[in-house]
A and B are shown apart, each in its own frame.
Chain A
């Protein structure tokens, strides 16, 4: 028999055809190749920081200003973490601003009016956030109403509830511990250290920074070794080291600047823990994977045995809890729970997620991306106010940035040729 099996021939004949899908949006220079679609956002962030440092004569990156940017935007960044999960699953949450208001008001009533011990009050507020999320999650996941409608209703409902609780006035002041969490800094537990020309800096903050860098290096190295052990391709050593150095330099710069000002803001510590925890959850847990599966192809997820309803329900419960955390921090920072708290926060959180690379149809997005998206908006806000731009111009620029980010995403996807 001289015939060959079809399988053998196809392998040879197909070379360069379908066997090698194109790599869209990829640029390479000097042997290093870079996926524009996934890393474009970080490059853009770096460029924006550089731009405003120049425009503000370095005022953007002064110790106090960095601290301000983090503290002033922490609640939107916390919301963005929950929002990116909602958006990856193909939903949206318009109610988070109102939930921030109502949970802030609840915590104020419990702590200020009723004099409840603050840890208990915080716990009750978080549970209330979960209940609100469960309420919305029920209608979305089990009743089948689009999230847009349910959370639009929620936006009205919870604002109404806030106004009912507060009347037309704020409640305050909050206990010191809560204010410290929202607005304060870690103690200078082990004193200061001289940094030569940079002046004195808090030793504890610096140590935390060094521990963070060490943790990053060790975990990256171990993951790389493990990947190699399983025969996976890893990036070239030079690029790996370069990335680690860049990450370490970034953390070091941030920590040194903060340490020179007033130590680490507590919200930064909280935010770092949340980002780390949620990134791991999204990538490494079955639950996280199922969120991507649902957003990528709902019907395929159903047919693969994903409990879609339950996953969507818990995503919204999670969003409720994160909104409650943001609500407490926002109220604590202002030292008062007000009826207009959280106005339009939902839009900032949604914009952060989309600027950070989430896909409009769902299935794509990263927690770190959403945080970066939020920081881009924060730096634009802060930088433009430093150079004295009027607020309408800030709004204009933010709108253009949002549109440009999503346009870029759509463009790279079209060039990639992956149809849905």
Chain B
């Protein structure tokens, strides 16, 4: 039995009025990959913040032992000094600086106060080789994709002589190729003796890569499973996370498909940063009332770009193509036009494009449909409250009242606010971009139920998702997109993950 590199015992962390962690225990063995699973808000991130010193010693109760020594970290510098490095979900890189500069940010290779550029770039190249990043060390971060940026973060951690690497949702923003590469890299690092703790929602990855899983629910440790001795499956982990067996992840739905609602023909969009590059290339699709249509594609296939360019030209340049609403050609020049024509787009990035986080629930819900609540420019605030309260109940938004600030809600509840906002505009066509990203399993089920309900009300729904099981479980028909082109259109009963993946990876002829 290998020794434990890390023991956290009896960790309790209280925020005013809320116990975020209650008597949590976590033991990580030397040289293993240890996954932490739990619903959003279960306390995983808080636990990692305690471990990395974001919440300094004294702000929590309990004991941390690392490499046999008791630790009392006063800040991130202390924990990094001990060899614990955390890589957050939102990468902390400076986009204008080079890869090498980012790797040594705060840890500069300097001689007498002056940066030694040769050494910086040389050592960066060595580290980049270790993580399998083939780029020039002087390339600015903004020029490489998210997958490679993730590798830069790991290289940065390695430069600090990391012993325990913590990754918070490392593959959330990566496509399958990059994810696979990252997981391979973690295995290599494990073989080099670096212990990893990963927090992940992607249970297939957890079962594939980890040696042990600790499940946290509602701020408490539920159990730690050993992958080698316990028989651990995805369903087993889910059962631990939600506290029951989950035999149906997707609500059943019988569609009633009606008339054509929206038809897009020969839609072509160029990239605003590289105006000679086609991001969407002659795409055509049709959405019908009452039907849930999926749009599958790998990261970078142009899914979001297609949706945003249709939604009031909010992305792209030199846009060409035709849009028909109920069979009649329409022109959508801006978001207002799109709303007027009954088209709604719920963004994949709630915090950036979807919500005013410092504002309350009711004003977020009314943000897009405010004119419908107003007479001659004056808002009927009581009506606004009533409408928000209706959504509060019908969407099961978990908050004490509609006056609660949206920034404090969990991801699932924020997503319900975004959906409420768009339903209030009474759209005929809803485009939902990654509607369940960063949402825990229970809330996902609720979102699926809402989507089914919208279809039953006769709305046409287009769901964009990275998760193929989700598309297969939810959609009546699925389009595949590859390199900006529609490569397939498959009815649900004929679609399998393999057949979709085949179409999604189909290159240009």
A-to-B contact residues, CB < 8 Å: 3-7, 9-11, 13-14, 16-24, 226-227, 229-233, 283-287, 289-290, 292-293, 296-297, 299-307, 359, 363-364, 415-420
List of A residues within 8 angstroms of B19 by Cβ: 16
When chains A and B are docked, how far (Å) is the Cα of A285 from the Cα of B384? 12
Max chain A CB contacts within 10 Å: which of B356, B363, B413?
B356
* Contact of A304 with B404 in the complex, beta carbons under 8 Å: no
- Cβ contact within 8 Å between A10 and B339: no
With both beta carbons as reference points, the residue of chain B lying nearest to A23 in the complex is identified as B17
A234 to B251, CA, bound (A): 39
Q: Taking CB as reference atom, which chain A residue is nearest B356?
A: A296
Listed A/B pairs (18) with beta-carbon separation below 8 Å: A3-B244, A3-B246, A5-B251, A7-B396, A13-B218, A20-B18, A21-B399, A21-B405, A231-B386, A286-B378, A289-B363, A290-B370, A296-B356, A296-B358, A300-B353, A302-B335, A303-B353, A304-B367
Q: Which residue of A lies closest to B339 (CB)?
A: A305
The answer for the CA separation of A364 and B360 in the assembled complex, in Å, is 12
Instruction: Decide: A420 near B442, CB < 8 A? Known: A7-B449, A284-B378, A285-B378.
Output: no
CA distance A77 to B61 in the complex (A): 50
CB of A22 within 8 A of CB of B449, answer no
Contact B247–A3 (Cβ < 8 Å): yes
Name the contact of A20 in the complex, choosing from B243, B353, B400, B446 (C-beta under 8 A). Answer: B400
B244 vs chain A, min Cβ distance (A): 6
B442 touches A7 (CB 8 A): yes
17 additional contacts (CB under 8 A) given A7-B445, A227-B382, A419-B357: A3-B245, A7-B449, A9-B244, A10-B242, A10-B446, A14-B218, A17-B18, A17-B41, A17-B219, A18-B398, A230-B386, A284-B378, A290-B370, A296-B356, A300-B367, A305-B339, A417-B15
In the complex, which residues of chain A have a beta carbon less than 8 angstroms from the beta carbon of B396?
Answer: 7, 11
B residues less than 8 Å from A7 (CB atoms)? 396, 442, 445-446, 449
Instruction: State the CA gap A176–B353 with chains docked (Å).
Output: 55
Contacts A18-B410, A304-B335 known; A418 to B244 CB distance under 8 Å?
Answer: no
Determine whether the beta carbon of A296 is less than 8 Å from that of B357.
yes
The complex places the Cα of A61 from the Cα of B62 at a distance, in Å, of 57
By the criterion CB–CB under 8 Å, are B399 and A19 in contact?
A: yes
CB-CB nearest in chain A for B446: A7
Q: By the criterion CB–CB under 8 Å, are A418 and B368 in contact?
A: no
With beta carbons under 8 angstroms apart, the residue of A9, A16, A226, A300 that contacts B382 is A226
**Which 4 residue pairs across A and B have the least CB separation, nearest first?**
A296-B356, A6-B442, A21-B408, A10-B442
Contact A300 B409 (CB under 8 A): no
Contact with A along B346-381 (1 / 0, CB 8 A): 010000111111110001001110110010011101
CA distance A4 to B247 in the complex (A): 9
Contact call A6/B247, Cβ cutoff below 8 A: no
Q: List the B residue with the shortest CB-CB distance to A285.
A: B377
CA distance A86 to B325 in the complex (A): 39
User: What is the distance, in angstroms, from A232's C-beta to the closest C-beta of chain B?
Assistant: 5
- Which chain A residue shows the least CB distance to B373? A286
Does B139 lie at the interface of the complex (its beta carbon under 8 Å from any beta carbon of A)?
no
Q: Is the CB of A16 within 8 A of B18?
A: yes
Residues of A within 8 A of B444 (CB): 6
Residue-wise, chain B 102-142 has the 8 Å CB interface mask toward A (1 for contact) of: 00000000000000000000000000000000000000000
Nearest Cβ on chain B to A291's Cβ, whole angstroms: 12
Chain B, residue nearest A362 (CB): B358
B377 lies within 8 A of A418 (CB): no
C-alpha gap A17/B440 in the complex (Å) = 14
CB within 8 Å for A292 and B363 given contacts A227-B382, A305-B339: yes
Question: When A19-B398, A21-B409, A293-B367 are in contact, do A305 and B335 touch as well, CB less than 8 Å?
Answer: yes
Contacts of A24 in B (CB 8 A): 16
